[in-house]
Structure 1
């Protein structure tokens, strides 16, 4: 039964309200009116006053008070619920089919969809309706099951980073009639109308769709050193501004926002573009662009080699001849690289500390021993050494008998000249590039000829190192791997003295294929043909970048016109000589909103929260009855001042005292020094501070009952005035408006971190943002942490001690889940001993733990041990709360005991090393 926004679970009890007029008459008749009798002796009683008196008639206001108390009790027992979760169709008992687009465009509103879906399943369960669920991005044939079985699997549902598939779905729909609830992502898709008609033929269809516009970001494009960004929205509307954030890693390796670009959609426009100018060093650190606040894969543009201008150092073996620029050994090389690379000039030993991507040596024959050693070390670390021949190299005795470490092949003395009076014949042209050459597929102009070259000594390894050759089979370009890097030798000069190659466009293309310069354009079909690309990292539906794991490689042909799906996911793919970013959107992508027919009802995703009112009304009835007692005593003259005081004090005893207000009177340093005390940083936000206090109290209770640790009551600390050394753990919730500590406070914090303390930073925003500065809390964390002495961080590895100090854990959820937790990075020399399940990681406790899962809210308990905040839904939510407690226990045990667990599992290896 519904009366406006209020529903009743037991509406038949409201019939009792009809008895209120009868009750009024009964109360009016009680007590009965006295009979008046005149008695002369009454005159003797005049002036006397009785302590107790009885009124001859109940006052109307007291009757009204009693009527209200009875009415509140009746209505409260009828089970009133404000905004009950019913749709006016609760009488339906037939099957229910729930259709989910579950695409990348659903990521932003996925939590709202999940909440609404959970309420629908709960209603279906109460009505015993069978439910089937159909995900269009993973279209398995739907089967009707009990609603509760679907509710238990809701936490496992998530959007995917590709578009839904509509074709052929209508043929796989269940037989019979059923009602359909379609959760749409709001975008027009091919085949959606056909599927809608098929569903309408089976029963009524209702669409649930967010009215908020969908935004997406096209892949970033770089032109002339400027990054061009284009944002899209699904439907035109009023002028709107969005912020595109550029994320990357700072010099310490910490992921953060490096720049931001506001883009404004003009009124009625669906596209907004802007340009972002960044220094080459900063641009090289970029990993992605993201529209702030969207939280789905379509708002992410990953970067690859096409956006990163490489740094190339150019070094010539002789000075440029004044006035003869075209004869300069580096002129044509500079012209080829200038549009797409940043060039460095200077001496070799001055350039190496800058760690360029490529070092080009034009006719450099001899290097000093120190230069050769430093250059070899740089190459082995992943650098590319690009060498060009010339008269000096041809005349030198380098690499004659033994192969030089910085030469790909051994050379013959003197070189070879062709095409002159004393030559061996006509100038030679280039042979077609072999299939295993990085230049395969490039067309060779007919006017490219070679008149002189340095010759390679025949060698068993020569054939495998030749990547370009002349028409007579002599090597033109050779290459050799050196450690993680490579050495490439052009057997001709970098200018036009020995060949016309530097004058042609082929020279630029060859440098691009070698990744000497940035690859501005997408690889063409010829380059992708026959190659295999291995996924390194992939995006999920929420736009989070994850390791690809064991995903198989994909054929290069699939990347020519990519069709995203389970077998080809957006992300970063490593090819033979470059990295390619595959984004959800393409350069030509546009967003078209779905226009549903007028016959189809379209509803939003938000529902007013359901609020039971029965307890409040019964409480009001009790208060009214208490008022009736006090009023009756007052009318009879029995309510004396002392009794009123007693009633007042009894009421005070019923009032719950405020939480932990007496803490300020505690001698905090003394208590913390004598007991294990968990502390939280006071932020100035009362709600956040109270939640942190309740969370640490709940964690302390959990530690008390499950471990040998018996913490005292948690304490809030003021960074400016309190001593920090006595607290093993500081929980620091981040709020966007908390003040920055002073220099003195930062000095105390750095001392605390260096002497074994740990700070748990919690941005509490994992439900709305990814790691970094994509939320106000994340930006505040960066400002707060900048002056702190924080080591390089990494997501918690699977073999970190934190995963096994007390419980074996793989995830670290709080009230939210899914966010990575960051700890101090393992040392570079960490290695796994044979036979041991874990690496030998650093011995120290990680000084900081950073996450955003809102652990305090999941840990929070009241004084009676009851949870203060909901976590998840049903059994899955309680499981998530339990895992959050286990993470808290592991964290405290890690702080108190260090790496004892790591030592335990390494005992056999330690004993073996000691010879025992």
Structure 2
């Protein structure tokens, strides 16, 4: 391609014809030969007369310029001018290696990356070069160079992985020693070993980088601190001030997943991180299943939640006064007040609560246990439970843990207790000492009014200092702790009520319980906490942040899960072992995004370059118009341009000009609309405000109408566009509603019309065009949820194999469009039963008022005015087969709308035959 500034020419040799323009100039200006002079005496009678119609001796200059311009425009148009042409990809004769990071960060603009790779493959194919492709999220293997056409098929089906590149240094070791050219489609993030791989690729030949300029957003796992859910997000690059929204999703009381809360995060100018806190009631916090950045389709923008945000089950066991008048003296009163808002409390005997498998068991001044109770409690703690004990008069007077260490106490206790601030005491009430860094309470402010007047004392054993996590100002241990198996035992050396200290009266008491994970479990479990456990996957994330089933993924060791090394054997998701659940997210609590840095001299190309625009058609059109103007001008100069001829030429000129398409959103006014809608059977689509989507919907219904005309007795007229705010809906038996992310919500009056339409027998096909793979997380799916929230829609469920839509005209089991995903229809009544000898249930004549899916049916049905499909579906014959099934689904759908569940009436055939036999 030859470049002239920002314009390139695909056939530059044709431009040499411009050199002939001066020759053309001379030809056009040539004067005919002078006539032979003959003297005729009678001419003398004409002397003095003037001819009113003078003939020019030369072609006028303006006409010469018009003709020369027309020829020049035609020459330039045939030369194939292109504005902002893309630079040639892979101009050398070396083999071409395409390197794709292929991780979660690529998902934000994956189609553009595939298009770029396909362009590279096409260029290599035209040049006869061999091609190899590697995805850095895979296990390093030596690249295999093959014909570019072979690798192109693999590129079209390539998908990103929900983790990042793992072993870039390993890839550097398996590269072949022979030379090759490399194009690296980078996600823009710095991964370990990137410098080694870059150097290895540069040593083999030319290296070029392609990076997307779009910002990468990532969401860290949500934490719980200070009674609020802490949310942190990262972005790269750090540019201007930006605000994003984070959606907190979970199950509502009806068991339906929906958005439960939303928070806004603001990235300051030049800052790569942003944080916020979400204040949620414990009941709502316990329902959360995940957080996601709104509008970002990547696994890094989704954070699954586990036990770290859920209410713990706490068993309270204590003695003492239980009468109403002595409630404040009850050993468990203050504990109930502190834990009731944040935990589920369990009552009962010790043997019973152990069987309930609580997260925490609290013993308030319980001194003696039976051997069976002690054994059961030890086994429960060793299995990962937290035993929280409080001292009291009974524990101080008992003789347990005097000579030998009790497994259910963290330290040995001295006989009796210590009294402070009384007539027989050792001194004044004691204050609390600052918490040491090794304590889980480190950083909590200590109110000066918190004092201790009595306590049980610990024996001065060698490990006492190690097990002490809180102490009084004189160094006496106040709270001690020791591990026991996978669990731990914690002892407060004061009572759980205000009898021995004012600690239960302060907010510090609640904070200390939270730090001990009495109300929430630790957010990031360590390998020791999960050792010996085997987890199975419950839900997994794909690279686009969509929930997918675990499939046949085997069990995962607890140590591997705590290590968090993502890969094919350990994808991000939610893992469970019994009632313990651990979320493995793409972004860890301490993850910070870093930008990739490339060596000097390595060309880096981004997607922000101006789009390539061919100009040949415009030049050829200008040449055609100039030549038509030349014809009119030549006739005018010669005096042969009459009024009638000028009118005919004007009509031809208007017909030759491009005719502006009538947009699909132009609807007929008033009575004309009603007459057009009711004169014949018409399918209709709802206007979205997006011209491209509306045009495609009209083309899709055109294609479906043609198939109905060819294959059934239904002969629909041209489809119509419907404005739900203005037009009457009752004229149409069927509405196709493509959903866009920014589609405005209907007004109150429009909702009334829609609900009346659904109640009176109309059907709406909602199409989010996202293949239904987002689990309700795509922008279109979220918009549909908002739109449908005020519609009178019955309960829906995924379509069953015996639904009448599978057999109204064709026998089908899949319902694809341009994509293939699940669809939802009205759930059958609870009393719908299968009839003996029939393959379906007795559903009478009910027609589902809504069908919900995301398969982009209009794109598969769409044809132009000549009946030729507008958009490709899949690849090759398999794609055309999918288009045919899409047509069959459309035929079944319209037959279902117009005839009801007539197929289900076959359940009455045995009874009718029996009567006829009688």
TM-score, reference length from structure 2: 0.74
Greater relative contact order structure (CA < 8 Å, 6+ sep):
1
1:699 partnered with 2:704? yes
Q: Which deviates further from its counterpart, 176-185 or 24-33?
A: 24-33
Query: Within 2, Cα distance between the matches of 1:206 and 1:102?
Result: 17
What does residue 164 of structure 2 align with? 163
CA pair 46-320 structure 1, distance change in 2 beyond 3 A: farther
What does residue 337 of structure 1 align with? 339
CA pair 310-798 structure 1, distance change in 2 beyond 3 A: farther
Aligned 8 A contact 1:790 1:848 in 2:
yes
Equivalent of residue 792 in structure 2, options 789, 798, 813: 789
- Could you tell me how far 1:833 is from its partner in structure 2? 9.8
Query: Within 2, Cα distance between the matches of 1:82 and 1:908?
Result: 72
Query: Within 1, Cα distance between the matches of 2:284 and 2:120?
Result: 49
Query: Within 1, Cα distance between the matches of 2:234 and 2:908?
Result: 54
1:759 partnered with 2:760? no
What does residue 724 of structure 1 align with? 729
Deviations 1:853-897 (A, max 9, x none): 554455443323345567788888877766655554454344345
Question: SS in structure 1 opposite 2:535?
Answer: strand
- Could you tell me how far 1:754 is from its partner in structure 2? 2.7
Q: Which deviates further from its counterpart, 756-765 or 206-215?
A: 756-765
Alignment map for 1:587-606 (pairs within 5 Å): 587-606=589-608
What does residue 529 of structure 1 align with? 531
What does residue 16 of structure 2 align with? 15
Where does structure 2 lack aligned partners over 5 or more consecutive residues? Answer: 396-407, 409-494, 498-502, 505-509
Alignment map for 1:430-829 (pairs within 5 Å): 430-431=374-375, 440-441=383-384, 518-523=520-525, 525=527, 528-654=530-656, 656=659, 658-659=661-662, 668-669=673-674, 672-673=677-678, 675-683=680-688, 688-720=693-725, 722-734=727-739, 740-763=745-768, 770=774, 772=776, 775=779, 780-794=783-797, 806=810, 808=812, 810=814, 812-814=816-818, 817=819, 821-825=823-827
Where does structure 1 lack aligned partners over 5 or more consecutive residues? Answer: 344-358, 366-378, 391-416, 420-424, 453-467, 469-494, 498-502
Alignment map for 1:140-219 (pairs within 5 Å): 140-165=141-166, 166-219=168-221
Alignment map for 1:333-482 (pairs within 5 Å): 334=336, 337-338=339-340, 340-341=342-343, 360=347, 430-431=374-375, 440-441=383-384
CA pair 169-48 structure 1, distance change in 2 beyond 3 A: closer
Aligned 8 A contact 1:95 1:179 in 2:
yes
Query: Within 2, Cα distance between the matches of 1:142 and 1:2?
Result: 34
Question: SS in structure 1 opposite 2:736?
Answer: strand
Query: Within 1, Cα distance between the matches of 2:341 and 2:608?
Result: 52
Equivalent of residue 302 in structure 1, options 301, 304, 307: 304
CA pair 718-252 structure 1, distance change in 2 beyond 3 A: farther
Question: SS in structure 2 opposite 1:134?
Answer: strand
Aligned 8 A contact 1:821 1:850 in 2:
yes
Aligned 8 A contact 2:317 2:347 in 1:
yes
Question: SS in structure 2 opposite 1:543?
Answer: coil
CA pair 213-192 structure 1, distance change in 2 beyond 3 A: same
- Could you tell me how far 1:179 is from its partner in structure 2? 0.4
Deviations 1:650-699 (A, max 9, x none): 33344547437695598555555564321122345655544432332233
- Could you tell me how far 1:571 is from its partner in structure 2? 1.1
- Could you tell me how far 1:337 is from its partner in structure 2? 3.5
CA RMSD of aligned residues (A): 4.9
CA pair 864-428 structure 1, distance change in 2 beyond 3 A: closer
Equivalent of residue 292 in structure 1, options 291, 294, 306: 294
- Could you tell me how far 1:269 is from its partner in structure 2? 3.0
Question: SS in structure 1 opposite 2:15?
Answer: helix
CA pair 240-906 structure 1, distance change in 2 beyond 3 A: farther
- Could you tell me how far 1:336 is from its partner in structure 2? 7.5
Query: Within 2, Cα distance between the matches of 1:283 and 1:543?
Result: 21
What does residue 5 of structure 1 align with? 6
CA pair 389-12 structure 1, distance change in 2 beyond 3 A: closer
CA pair 198-605 structure 1, distance change in 2 beyond 3 A: same
Query: Within 1, Cα distance between the matches of 2:320 and 2:902?
Result: 62
Alignment map for 1:222-261 (pairs within 5 Å): 222-251=224-253, 254-261=256-263
What does residue 121 of structure 2 align with? 121
CA pair 433-149 structure 1, distance change in 2 beyond 3 A: farther
- Could you tell me how far 1:646 is from its partner in structure 2? 1.2
TM-score, reference length from structure 1: 0.74
- Could you tell me how far 1:550 is from its partner in structure 2? 2.7
- Could you tell me how far 1:898 is from its partner in structure 2? 5.2
Query: Within 2, Cα distance between the matches of 1:727 and 1:797?
Result: 27
Aligned 8 A contact 1:161 1:570 in 2:
yes
Aligned 8 A contact 2:316 2:361 in 1:
no
Alignment coverage as a number of residue pairs: 791
- Could you tell me how far 1:760 is from its partner in structure 2? 2.2
Query: Within 1, Cα distance between the matches of 2:325 and 2:278?
Result: 38
- Could you tell me how far 1:702 is from its partner in structure 2? 3.5
Deviations 1:269-294 (A, max 9, x none): 33211101123443344322112232
1:66 partnered with 2:71? no
- Could you tell me how far 1:24 is from its partner in structure 2? 0.9
Question: SS in structure 1 opposite 2:196?
Answer: helix
- Could you tell me how far 1:644 is from its partner in structure 2? 0.9
CA pair 686-446 structure 1, distance change in 2 beyond 3 A: closer
Aligned 8 A contact 1:317 1:362 in 2:
no
Aligned 8 A contact 2:84 2:611 in 1:
yes
Aligned 8 A contact 1:242 1:292 in 2:
yes
Query: Within 2, Cα distance between the matches of 1:10 and 1:858?
Result: 36
Query: Within 2, Cα distance between the matches of 1:861 and 1:85?
Result: 31
Query: Within 2, Cα distance between the matches of 1:146 and 1:836?
Result: 54
Question: SS in structure 2 opposite 1:241?
Answer: strand
What does residue 412 of structure 1 align with? none
What does residue 99 of structure 1 align with? 99
CA pair 385-83 structure 1, distance change in 2 beyond 3 A: closer
